[in-house]
Chains A and B, each alone.
Chain A
């Protein structure tokens, strides 16, 4: 068996058995970032309980099987884990070569969403129904694609030692490549994902060492874009309502503000220790809409209290902390950029998701990484974990 390129196997060691190889001091398994992996697993585990609690009684969703969503979530986690292992196996460097293909496939998929193949779920036309009860949300994978395609471009000359920082041409090229899928996603319209992608691009640019002008320019463009979008009426009414309801939930208590308000009541009523799993009245009474997906954090808030909800924040913190270490400690800019992109993604998406349930961010249809129910999101974040692990595994031992 030939290890893929860059897979670190000591040439001078005698032949060892598989188990021995995996447990050896310099083995892949030993060099994995276990705190991050365990945190991600713990989040998925907690997520499965929360999703279960939120869907137990929703017979119109689970077809009478209270365990349906529990199993599906665990299954998604399993597939996610497999994807992570596969990603580590391939390695982020190997994926470099596959980026053009990945990029093309991503564009095709998101374009497909705009065709009659696409489906609208919760107001966002962002899905492709695969059949057999499965549906795919390509924008989740586009996030990875954007990270990879920008990283490949921006890091190429720097890692080759030709430049200290990526030049303007490269940056412009990278931004154009990122802008294309973002534009398509915007057309769906899946504004939440576009927001995340914009933050990813910002993170990537920062980590790439691109000139401050680009960074500031991007932020300026973002602000300008937001102003234009709102003033030119490019947004649908439901999107504006969602925004207004966050700013003032009392504005429309029976409509959009209802979500925010109910979410806040659910979390607020949790107190220190929560009502206990399955015991939250807001959850059992199904007062919070989309509670297994976008508003899954409210289940934690109500049933597990400050302690449980705080634990989710801590676990997310551990993942982000480890990711930051990986970004700082890898030897290549490529790895740094990929890690930074993932950090920006995870951090912003988590902040937006939890923030909206706490009433400090506008409501946007974004899943909470690892915790929310949803295959596409789960697969994407586990692939991201795989990428981070791969960057860590493949950097030289620092000891």
Chain B
């Protein structure tokens, strides 16, 4: 209808109008296309971005649960400290990168400005400590020891301190009640890593950036229970961060308390006695090496025989777990992990392994019976035993004539076991084992739980080693290249040994089986394994998985989940054999190698059973072992390079028993003084408000059981009156407000 004549317009104008129209609609189409691209094609991405934009999370960290001893005394709890933190993200937005603010802050905190600035720099390979190795988006603690005065100054002059906060924060504390550090058993915390956050992202207990995670000991095993759940409040905010609505709020759930079977008082005794035994051992001259014993490490375990619960567990050297609180310093870290540190982080009760020596002998005794030997048969105990020119001596090169297995245990006659083990080795085919080789001595060791974890509720337990045929084969396969390289016939001891190992290290030789029979050679055990075995002998044969955790108690005390002891097997012996072994072990305490350490012990009231061990280690001084038990407790102590079993460990073990039962050196029992005449059964009471009715305890007084008629009257608790340093008396019972 619109043509040129009618409108009088030229084709040029007409065409241009069409061009305009086309242009206009292409513009609109462009917009439509772009709109589709943003909203439909990439809509999801922008929806997520919008969500991040307007939702801010405020995290209230959960208060970590306490680790309590059997009577409720906190071994690890929290104290409220005023923590001053700096937000790096805010400071870095400032023109001077926060320097002015930090300088003002240093002034308030009485610190050097450089110290404060260094604390909030990020760690990398070039940055020396101190530096921050956590997330840069998390507020970085400058100090956790601010005074109320300082905190108030910072808060009142908020405009002078942008990005700085001063908040009361619950900080982990290891109060060491009665000086019982319990270091390795408690473990420690350190900040969560990015990898862990990523890994736990989709589980039911995700980590927060600010979380601390249990790295070892109970802190690690019960981390999930202790940690609780941080409160997260999600706010909808506008562009200025003003809150325009609360989207979602999950209140913080404090972590549960873990009640342990540790008795802080017994723990204090065990720690002191172990340490003291080592100090004493270092005063003793070692004839073999012609120098004093080094006593470089040691461990002691006090276990309830009927449940496998751990009453005390100490490992030397130890450390103060508080070193980890608030980030460990470089110096402390080196002291704990460095080459010259002797590795105090190791819990040698479960991570230290050594040849057991004679405390092993209960195993070959049971093995011999299982192999068909009469317990009360007569077995020759010469001063030495020869196999083809090789002479294996009794420890003290003493003969005892013909004796029973019980007597062999009592006097610790090595040659009896040499002969039995050698015979069995021959029966099984010697170097060319039969297909149906019985391997009684090795089988029995496995049945006693050796060469395997006991299943204690502490991380990274080691297994020890039963050097059976299979192990020999595996070990040879792994090492033969090295042996064959350095081995030299007729060379030094090591060269000769390597030469032999290279040739036939995969084979069980007669000498191997003989050495093994007395807990020497390649045999390795951990103190916790031996405590478990001796507890099993005491309790009628049940091998309990040792447990430290006794119950998980909710913060309000209402929900109590008991940790039931589990068993990992029965000892492979009948009741008769067991009774006879018990009798022999009682004989060790009364007549045998341990008798001189149990002078005055009321054997009729509290039957004591013991076995000493002095294990030889090539190139080192002997390892002292002492394994003991009564009806209720088994105590195993070991001191590396410490001398003989009874010599080095004897007095300490005796003193622990004295403290448990309230005995003095003369064997008089004072039940009022007894720390734990019977295992603690009841759980401590935790009130609804979270407070715990825990007894106050003081440090161990090693002089308490000395017989001294002029001694001042003792407190009913059996310890010294807690008049001394209140810091050592354990924290107040209501430690959580």
Contact = CB atoms under 8 A, between A and B. Distances in A.
Interface residues of B, number: 45
A206 B31 contact: no
B54 A282 contact: yes
Contacts of A360: 30, 34
Interface string B552-581: 000000000000000000000000000000
Contacts, number: 161
Interface stretch (A1-9, A62-70, A109-117, A283-291): A283-291
Contact of A209 (B2, B12, B38, B49): B12
A340 B30 contact: no
A41 interface: no
Interface string B1-22: 1100011111011101101110
B36 interface: yes
Given A206-B19, A358-B34, A329 B1 contact: yes
A286 B39 contact: no
A59 to B, nearest CB: 11
A333 B7 CA distance: 9
B50 interface: yes
A333 B2 CA distance: 13
A107 to B, nearest CB: 28
A293 B612 CA distance: 92
Contact of B21 (A316, A324, A329): A324
B491 interface: no
Interface stretch (B231-239, B248-256, B361-369): B231-239
A207 B7 CA distance: 13
Q: Is the interface of A mostly helix, strand, loop or mixed?
A: helix
B8 A331 contact: yes
B17 A268 contact: no
Nearest to B53: A287
Contacts of A207: 13, 16-17, 20
Interface residues of A, number: 56
Interface in A183-238: 203, 206-209
A267 B50 contact: no
A330 interface: yes
Given A164-B10, A265-B49, A267-B35, A285 B20 contact: no
B17 A269 contact: no
A355 interface: yes
Given A207-B16, A285-B54, A344-B20, A316 B43 contact: no
Given A209-B13, A285-B236, A324-B24, A269 B46 contact: yes
A388 B271 CA distance: 99
Given A203-B20, A206-B19, A358 B38 contact: yes
A53 B88 CA distance: 36
A165 interface: yes
A329 B2 contact: yes
A132 B238 CA distance: 30
A85 interface: no
Nearest to B1: A398
B39 A301 contact: yes
Contacts of B376: none
A305 interface: yes
Contacts of A209: 9-10, 12-13, 16
Given A305-B39, A328-B2, A329-B2, A281 B236 contact: yes
Contact of B49 (A203, A206, A269, A398): A269
A57 B244 contact: yes
B238 A287 contact: yes
A270 interface: yes
B16 A287 contact: no
B47 interface: yes
B12 A320 contact: no
A155 to B, nearest CB: 11
Given A265-B50, A331-B8, A351 B27 contact: yes
Nearest to B11: A209
Given A268-B45, A285-B53, A336 B21 contact: no
Interface string A329-358: 111010010001001100110110011001
A270 B239 contact: no
A306 interface: yes
A302 B39 CA distance: 9
A268 B39 contact: yes
A327 B17 CA distance: 8
B16 A206 contact: yes
Nearest to B51: A281
Contacts of B14: 328
A268 B49 contact: yes
- Which residue among B7, B8, B244 has the maximum number of chain A CB atoms within 10 Å of its CB? B7
A305 B35 CA distance: 9
A21 B458 CA distance: 100
Contacts of A284: 236, 238, 244
A309 B9 contact: no
Given A164-B10, A358-B34, A272 B16 contact: no
B10 to A, nearest CB: 6
A272 to B, nearest CB: 6
A264 B20 contact: no
Given A285-B237, A287-B238, A270 B43 contact: yes
Contacts of A331: 6-8
B682 interface: no
A358 B53 CA distance: 18
A271 B39 contact: yes
A336 B9 contact: yes
Nearest to B31: A354
Nearest to A269: B50
A316 B35 CA distance: 15
Nearest to A301: B39
B195 interface: no
B478 interface: no
B391 interface: no
Q: Which of B20, B51, B238 is the most central at the interface, judged by chain A CB atoms within 10 Å of its CB? A: B20
Nearest to B18: A328
A337 B35 CA distance: 31
Of B8, B21, B23, the most chain A CB neighbours within 10 A belong to: B21
A306 B238 contact: no
B355 to A, nearest CB: 66
B644 to A, nearest CB: 74
Given A266-B50, A270-B43, A285 B27 contact: no
Contacts of A310: 32, 35
A317 interface: yes
A306 B46 CA distance: 14
B606 interface: no
A268 B43 contact: yes
B3 to A, nearest CB: 10
Given A265-B50, A281-B51, A287-B239, A328 B16 contact: no
A313 interface: yes
B17 A286 contact: no
B35 A313 contact: yes
A324 B46 CA distance: 36
A179 to B, nearest CB: 22
B542 to A, nearest CB: 63
Contacts of A340: 17, 20
A398 B1 CA distance: 8
Interface in B205-258: 236-240, 244
Contact of B38 (A267, A317, A324): A267
A348 B27 CA distance: 8
Contacts of A286: 238-240
Give 3 nearest A-B pairs by CB, closest first: A268-B46, A269-B50, A285-B238
Given A269-B46, A351-B31, 15 more contacts: A209-B9, A262-B239, A268-B50, A272-B39, A281-B51, A282-B50, A284-B244, A285-B238, A306-B40, A313-B28, A324-B21, A328-B14, A336-B17, A347-B24, A351-B28
20 contacts: A164-B10, A207-B16, A208-B13, A209-B9, A264-B46, A265-B50, A267-B39, A269-B46, A269-B50, A271-B47, A282-B50, A285-B238, A301-B39, A309-B35, A316-B28, A329-B7, A343-B24, A347-B27, A350-B31, A355-B34
